[in-house]
Amino acid sequence: MKGKNGSVIRGVLVFLLIVLTEDLLLAGPPFFTDDPDPVPFRHWEYYLSSENTFDLRDQSATGTLPHFEVNWGVVKNLQLHLVVPSTYLFNAPSDLFYGYTFTEFGTKYRFVKDTGMIPEIGIFPIVEIPTIHDSRFGKQYVQVYLPIWIQKSWNKLTTYGGAGYWINPGSGNQNWIFTGWEVQYDFTEFITLGTEAYFHTTSSTGGKAISGLTIGGFLNFSKSIHFIFSVGHTLTGANQITSYAGLYITI
């Protein structure tokens, strides 16, 4: 995209990246690490969010703008999961690609409850199905994620983490492992803050493993309406800023 329209779009993207990464007040979303706690039986979760990665080396950005996520407690200890994203890819100085690239389905199942000494344990298999075949988005094949998550809570303090294996077919791709751990604290009824450390092996031939830190949290306007947000930076393997911001509604 060139000319005046391209300049306007670039300005909007830069503005969004600044807004979403400058604030260090933050909030599984908005971290990479998830938890084993499913949506309660017959309840719903809704997210309207934007998730972004800005590469400082080549001035490129990719993410969702926006994406919609819904989780439903279909039976006790089991939730169904759906993500429908609008994905963008921006390469400086003026290349912008935007589309509905994939649909994500998942099922979170908690098979061990928190019973004092024993932590909560669950699995959350996810499948990502490509909607358009465009190598610029890296979503040409069905991908499958097989993680296990553990969580323990003590009053206002909660910690969770685990690891998962991504099945990532396609030329130049390779299967990879993600592991992460998060700690968060309810400072008041209004604000919860946390931090996360994560590591994942390379997902492409000749690529590098990446580690990073994220800080985030929740602003709880009521028991049902929350604003969640995060910002992070890679430590090794890349020079990237990540961000997440969204509205989170529970019913």
Domains of the chain: 3-250 (2.40.160.40)
User: Which of helix, strand or coil describes residue 11?
Assistant: helix
What percent of the chain has pLDDT above 90? Answer: 73
State the Cα–Cα distance between residues 105 and 176, nearest whole angstrom: 19
Specify the pTM: 0.85
State the Cα–Cα distance between residues 213 and 198, nearest whole angstrom: 7
Where residue 104 falls among pLDDT bands split at 50, 70, 90?
very high
pLDDT at 6 > cutoff 80: no
Where residue 3 falls among pLDDT bands split at 50, 70, 90?
very low
CB contact set of 59 (below 8 Å; sequence gap of 6+): 91, 92
Q: CB–CB of 246/31 below 8 Å?
A: no
Residue from 94, 11, 10, 87 nearest 49 by CA:
87
CB contact set of 63 (below 8 Å; sequence gap of 6+): 50, 51, 52, 53, 87, 88
Residue 248, exposed/middle/buried by CB under 10 A (0-12, 13-18, 19+)? buried
Where residue 119 falls among pLDDT bands split at 50, 70, 90?
very high
Adjacent-strand bridge partners of 248 = 47, 226
pLDDT at 182 > cutoff 60: yes
What is the average per-residue pLDDT within 197-206? 94
CB contact set of 115 (below 8 Å; sequence gap of 6+): none
State the Cα–Cα distance between residues 219 and 192, nearest whole angstrom: 7
**Phi, psi dihedrals of residue 7, rounded to the nearest 5°:** -65, -40
